[in-house]
């Protein structure tokens, strides 16, 4: 940092000597100007930052002592070195009492002596600046730790039911913000199209995405009193609002769209919650946000009104009706019925999103059975827009997203089924299918298949796609995934063992492909199937996928 120096003396020769006899720049100083009186000095100080003033005591208009008094009030950090004559000793004493850092006799000083005095002040400035910086860092760390401590306390109250005694202790120790003690609304915020945002890789990581949105929210919430943001570390942010308004959420939504280019939705608890009710408030707000599955165009959602009567969770899928439609194969009629089916499910919000996804899985099972008439196509579920059916059903954010995707996917699937309802494959294709079904556990490549069937690789790929409707690699992958599904139902096999048994040397690679097609990681799929098997034993009349 350059140390800025101002020279104040009514004698021009003194000012010239001070400027020219000392190599200021070589030692990190900058002369910001010179003044012939205290009045001129104050005018210059109003325009320029300064660290050291070399000032004469006796000057017209405003002397050095008066200048010191003015500067001490307005710029207390500026240091003075007084320039005096032999008969100015009384004034020098007053200057030192006023806070002057040092003095020197104009007729007796040497440039080296004055430079040394200035360098000592320079070092003092740097030490003070370092101390201020360290103090600022320490204060910031303390502030962050205090904020994190409060946030962790609130996080604990949100995710766990705490006793009144535990909350009373927190309140007594001052660990809860005052507005929380008075009661607040709990708001859960989530990023829409979360998977798509991550795949676009604008934020490079999930952690950076949430961090960015969190910073935007914190900046906006500074304008509002009685608010606290809590990161739930599960893709969701919680806002505790002592004074709630939809206008605040609208501003947060607009800021996220403007600065992070993401859309957000909010679930709001039904009532204001006391510290003892934060866990219940979070449950309400989280369930409200989950309603976006049925209301994708509504950014602010509230809990569904509860009814005393609990509806039995039975299937509404008319399998005979759908089988008839699929048998006839009239695509326009099938798609029209699919749209009606989506609307019918939209009306079942009270049954919950998990139940609706189960209905879709049952519907897809019927489609799979219809496609499986060829004997081979059960293993080959065509992709659409880079996604597979089970993945869409299990991971799509909204019912509308599922419906739109299947309206695009089903015509392609029906076309493949139609092409292969009476498959008469060439011998080369039959041989390739036989090899894949028997040797799926081996490291098979298209080049190997081409060599064994005696055809060029490109020609074989085109021919296989034309006759079966799918690529060779996709056909092989689906065979492997179908075998993996069967093996995962057996709890004695470990995931890495299953990966090797279906042709993958890297279990992570296998898990990634399985997740892409099935919508679940292998271990999640195993747990789901184990739960369904138990459910069938306990409820044998219930239809499942």
| pLDDT for position 494 | 93
In whole angstroms, what is the distance from residue 361 CA to residue 395 CA? Answer: 12
Contact 495/523 with Cβ under 8 angstroms? yes
Length of the chain: 545
| pLDDT for position 379 | 47
Please tell me the number of Cα atoms within 13 Å of 330 on its side-chain side: 8
| pLDDT for position 150 | 74
Quick one: which of 327, 160, 185 has its CA closest to 243?
185
Q: What is the pLDDT of residues 455-510, one digit of tens each?
A: 888 888 888 888 877 888 888 988 899 899 999 999 899 999 999 999 999 999 99
Q: Using the CB atoms, write b or e for 446-472: b if 16+ within 10 Å.
A: beebbeebebeeeebbebbeebbbbbb
3-state helix, strand, coil in the chain (%, to 5): 60, 10, 30
| pLDDT for position 537 | 47
Percent of the chain with pLDDT over 90: 44
Q: Which domains does the chain have, with CATH numbers?
A: 3-129 (3.40.50.2300), 160-301 (3.30.70.270), 319-538 (1.10.10.60)
Give the residues of the chain that fall short of pLDDT 50.
308-310, 373-379, 420-422, 537, 540-545
| pLDDT for position 136 | 81
CA distances from 46 to 35, 40, 71 (A): 13, 10, 11
Q: What is the DSSP letter of 377?
A: G
């Amino acid at each position: 940092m350059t140390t800025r120096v101002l020279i104040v003396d009514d004698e021009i020769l003194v000012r010239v000597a001070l400027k020219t006899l000392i190599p200021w720049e070589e030692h990190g100083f900058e002369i910001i100007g010179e003044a012939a009186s205290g009045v001129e000095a104050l005018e210059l100080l109003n325009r320029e930052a300064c660290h050291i003033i070399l000032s004469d005591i006796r000057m017209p208009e405003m002397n050095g002592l008066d200048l010191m008094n003015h500067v001490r009030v307005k710029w207390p950090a500026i240091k003075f070195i007084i320039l005096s004559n032999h008969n100015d000793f009384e004034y020098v004493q007053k200057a030192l009492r006023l806070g002057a850092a040092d003095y020197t006799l104009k007729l007796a000083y040497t440039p080296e002596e004055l430079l040394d005095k200035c360098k000592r002040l320079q070092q003092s400035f740097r030490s003070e600046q370092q101390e201020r910086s360290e103090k600022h860092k320490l204060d910031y760390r303390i502030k962050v730790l205090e904020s994190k401590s409060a946030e962790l306390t609130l996080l604990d109250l949100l995710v766990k039911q705490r006793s009144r005694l535990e909350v009373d202790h927190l309140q007594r120790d001052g660990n809860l913000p005052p507005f929380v003690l008075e009661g607040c609304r709990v708001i859960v915020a989530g990023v829409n199209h979360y998977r798509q945002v991550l795949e676009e890789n604008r934020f490079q990581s999930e952690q950076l995405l949430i961090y960015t949105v969190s910073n935007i929210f914190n900046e906006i919430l500074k304008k509002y009193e009685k608010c606290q943001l809590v990161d739930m570390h599960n893709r969701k942010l919680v806002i505790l609002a002592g004074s709630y308004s939809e206008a605040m959420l609208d501003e947060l939504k607009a800021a996220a769209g403007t600065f992070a280019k993401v859309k957000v939705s909010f679930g709001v608890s039904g009532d204001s919650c006391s510290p003892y009710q934060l866990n219940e408030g979070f449950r309400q707000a989280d369930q409200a946000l989950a309603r976006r599955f049925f209301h994708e165009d509504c950014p602010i959602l509230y809990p569904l009104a509860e009814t005393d009567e609990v509806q039995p969770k039975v299937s509404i899928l008319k399998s005979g009706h759908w089988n008839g439609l699929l048998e006839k194969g009239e695509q326009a009629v099938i798609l029209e019925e699919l749209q009606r089916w989506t609307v019918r499910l939209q009306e079942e919000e009270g049954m919950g999103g998990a139940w609706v996804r189960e209905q879709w899985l049952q519907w897809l099972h019927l489609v799979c059975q219809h496609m499986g008439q060829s004997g081979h196509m059960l293993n080959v579920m065509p992709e659409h827009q880079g996604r597979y059916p089970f993945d869409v059903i299990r991971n799509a954010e909204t019912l509308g997203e599922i419906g739109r995707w299947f309206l695009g996917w089903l015509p392609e699937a029906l076309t493949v089924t139609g092409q292969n309802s009476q498959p008469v494959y060439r011998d080369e294709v039959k041989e390739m299918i036989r090899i894949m079904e028997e040797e799926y556990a081996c490291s098979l490549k298209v080049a190997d298949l081409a060599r064994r069937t005696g055809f060029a690789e490109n020609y074989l790929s085109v021919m296989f796609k034309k006759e079966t409707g799918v690529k060779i690699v996709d056909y092989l992958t689906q065979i492997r995934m179908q075998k993996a599904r069967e093996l995962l139902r057996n709890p004695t096999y470990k995931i890495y063992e299953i990966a090797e048994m279906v042709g993958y040397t890297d279990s992570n690679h296998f898990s990634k492909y399985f997740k892409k097609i099935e919508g679940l990681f292998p271990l999640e799929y195993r747990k789901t199937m184990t739960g369904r098997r138990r459910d069938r034993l306990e409820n044998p009349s219930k239809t499942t996928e």
